[in-house]
Chains A and B, each alone.
Chain A
Amino acid sequence: MDLKTLTELNGISGDEGRVRRALMEAARPHCDEVSIDRSGNLICKKKGADPSLPEVLFAAHMDEVGFIIAGYTDDGLLRIRSVGGIDPRVIVSKWVLVGPDRLPGVIGAMAIHLQTMADRKKVLDYDGLYIDIGAKDKAEAEKLAPLGTYAAFDTAYTPFGEGMVIAKALDDRVGCYNLLRLLQGNYPCDITCCFVTQEEVGLRGSIGAAYGSQVEVALVFEGTAANDLGDVPESQRVCQVGYGVAVSFMDGASVGNRELFKLLPALAESAGIPCQIKQGVTGGNDAGSFQYGGDTGAGTARTMVLSVPCRYIHSGASVAALSDIDAQLHLAQEYLNNL
């Protein structure tokens, strides 16, 4: 399954079914065992050649950020809330697809002709932004998009530049894509690939996956925020698109295992895989679940996060480099083949 298909599927946190079905179908031929746990995580297991080696777990999240319908105006516009963190400044005038039938919609704002000078300086927030699906009144809007319907950015996957892509949901379909590719190979140890749910709303799915797995090592495939454009000083760039897979020493949810933090960049260097150290500690991801289980304490693993740098992450159009996506996969394979 290609990255285009994966990013164009809509799977906002709590509504990962379409993505899960597609991944399950694509993964099944390459796995010894496929299951779905009670948190909705897709768990794919593959046996290795040497049963004496400890199993290694990989995780990527299936969900993406998006919107949920939370109310209506009398004239048929949909009131919305974000699911996961989306800056309301980046959503004005964006095309969206509403509900399972992908109804087209647009997030509207007052035309510039009608704005006062004060209006132009105001930042619109979720109380002042609506999805217009062309409904003639509230009753029709309720019928077409009942409360709780999800809406996703409508963005076509588009290659551009030299080996770059524009797409929505690169965070974390790049990780899902690479887990699928990982499962196609053969390795010395057993591997478990967890495609998890609800990362964007608080690392929820992965807690169930951690509880169910109890492994010693977990590597998390992520998309992470690159801050590498314009006048940003070098010390604040976090990571840069096109400079390889980003390895994390710490973020808001976990401290990377020190041995893995030394080992993985060294493996990358000796194998000629582009690799960079993520220069920032903000954000957090599923590694926290596998390391200490969030609030449950059900974690057991030494963890490391391998991220693909993405520009404009958590918006309708983010940008990544195919070479970085390949580097994420190759570093994981290098790790497995050197156990």
Chain B
Amino acid sequence: MLRDTLKTLLNAWGPSGNEHNVAEEIKALLGGHVDAIRTDAMGNLIVEKYGQDDNAKRIMISAHMDHIGMVVTAIEKEGFLRVAPVGGLSLKASEYRHVVFENGVEGVLLSQPVQNGEPKVKDLFIDIGAADREEALSMVQVGDFAVYAPHVFPLGKHRIAAPAMYDRCACALLVELLLYAEDQKNTIVGVFSTQEELGLRGARVAAFAEEPDIGLALDVTGWGDTPENKLPDLKLGAGPAVKIMDAYMVASPMVRDALFEAADLADVAVQREVLPYGGTDGAAIQHSRGGVPTGTLSIPCRYVHSACETIDMRDMEGALKILLQFVNLI
């Protein structure tokens, strides 16, 4: 079930560059249900489900496993940890947050007062309850990564909030697509990608190596339906969004229109996404080698890059129906 898969993936620990736990969960979910599964040097998990058509196209569908976090850069003699951001960490969303390391060590993320002006991300530190450096070193090392502690909770009947929703909701969709697609026309090359938050790095490598015929990124997008937030003009629960363009990509018309057609066939309402900022793995695939026709299907998500990224499960269910049509259509 989509909801269960999503919860499993939301609870996996995996900041950018450290996605192996997420990959293990996905492998366990997919085991026995796909035709090929491999991991590359970047940690991308690449899963294939072969198409039945003699002229089956290879459709690379990418969802990234990583999410934002922080990395320990130094340990103070009083036992506090200095950190640097991994991906687009904001101060506002980070102060007083519960964080967790891969080995289970927990901490609180705080900012120090500064002499002039307001604290910035570089002024964040972690309190892990250590009395001094020696005790801290028995718990963590310089170079250890941390994330907002997993915490999945429902909001009303249809919505779910959690850190890492961006982009584990897309990973859940891709897992379910690979599980439910049966005898589909085209070959699905599912790429659970790495280091998206640091510049679409994993997807670039996967697109280069896989040389797909068609590309599709699954990702979240912004929201315009909370007080004084008007753009992008997207609402939670009004359907997944077909990307027209963002700051890094104009969706290839052929793929964009196939997504609209798939939505019609699946009888799912979709929104049209024009995002004035940001980019997805779609850009990396589209610009790979000699160019790959590529689109993006997005899940509207509130409070992106916070510990309470919120989506509506109705958009997820609609997206899955569209994807099941899409892999037969194009």
Contacts of A257 in B (CB 8 A): 41
Quick one: given A216-B41, A255-B195, A302-B41, are A280 and B208 in contact (CB under 8 Å)?
A: no
| Cα–Cα distance between A295 and B82 once the two chains are bound (Å) | 31
Whether A297 and B71, one on each chain, are in contact in the complex, defined by CB atoms closer than 8 angstroms, is no
Contacts of A298 in B (CB 8 A): 205, 208
Quick one: given A255-B17, A297-B284, are A279 and B142 in contact (CB under 8 Å)?
A: yes
| Cα–Cα distance between A256 and B141 once the two chains are bound (Å) | 15
* Main SS at interface, chain B: mixed
A327 at interface by CB-CB < 8 Å: no
Contacts of A258 in B (CB 8 A): 17-18, 20
Binary contact track B97-113/A, C-beta < 8 Å → 1, others 0: 00000000000000000
- Stretch among B29-37, B166-174, B196-204 lining the A interface: B196-204
Whether B142 and A300, one on each chain, are in contact in the complex, defined by CB atoms closer than 8 angstroms, is no
Interface residues of B in 227-276 (CB under 8 A from A): none
Whether B195 and A280, one on each chain, are in contact in the complex, defined by CB atoms closer than 8 angstroms, is no
Whether B73 and A291, one on each chain, are in contact in the complex, defined by CB atoms closer than 8 angstroms, is no
Q: Which of B20, B84, B205 is within 8 Å of A297, CB to CB?
A: B205
| Cα–Cα distance between A16 and B318 once the two chains are bound (Å) | 56
| Cα–Cα distance between A70 and B74 once the two chains are bound (Å) | 42
Which B residue's beta carbon lies closest to that of A300?
B41
Which B residue's beta carbon lies closest to that of A257?
B41
Whether B17 and A250, one on each chain, are in contact in the complex, defined by CB atoms closer than 8 angstroms, is yes
Q: Interface size on A (CB < 8 Å)? A: 27
| Distance in Å: Cβ of B248 to nearest Cβ of chain A | 11
Q: Which of A235, A256, A299, A301 is within 8 Å of B73, CB to CB?
A: A235
Whether B74 and A236, one on each chain, are in contact in the complex, defined by CB atoms closer than 8 angstroms, is yes
Binary contact track A285-325/B, C-beta < 8 Å → 1, others 0: 00000011101111111100000000000000000000000
| Cα–Cα distance between A88 and B195 once the two chains are bound (Å) | 34
Whether B16 and A255, one on each chain, are in contact in the complex, defined by CB atoms closer than 8 angstroms, is yes
B76 at interface by CB-CB < 8 Å: yes
Which B residue's beta carbon lies closest to that of A288?
B201
Interface residues of B in 42-90 (CB under 8 A from A): 42, 71, 73-77, 82, 84, 86
B321 at interface by CB-CB < 8 Å: no
| Distance in Å: Cβ of A287 to nearest Cβ of chain B | 12
| Distance in Å: Cβ of A227 to nearest Cβ of chain B | 11
Q: Residues on B close to A: CB < 8 A?
A: 16-18, 20, 40-42, 71, 73-77, 82, 84, 86, 141-143, 195, 198, 201-209, 284, 287-288
* Beyond A297-B203, A297-B204, A300-B40, 17 additional pairs, beta carbon < 8 A: A216-B41, A234-B76, A235-B75, A249-B142, A249-B143, A255-B18, A255-B195, A277-B143, A279-B82, A291-B41, A292-B201, A293-B205, A295-B204, A297-B206, A297-B284, A300-B205, A301-B41
16 pairs, A vs B, C-beta closer than 8 Å? A216-B41, A234-B76, A255-B16, A258-B17, A277-B141, A277-B143, A279-B73, A279-B142, A281-B73, A292-B195, A293-B205, A297-B206, A297-B207, A297-B208, A299-B204, A299-B205
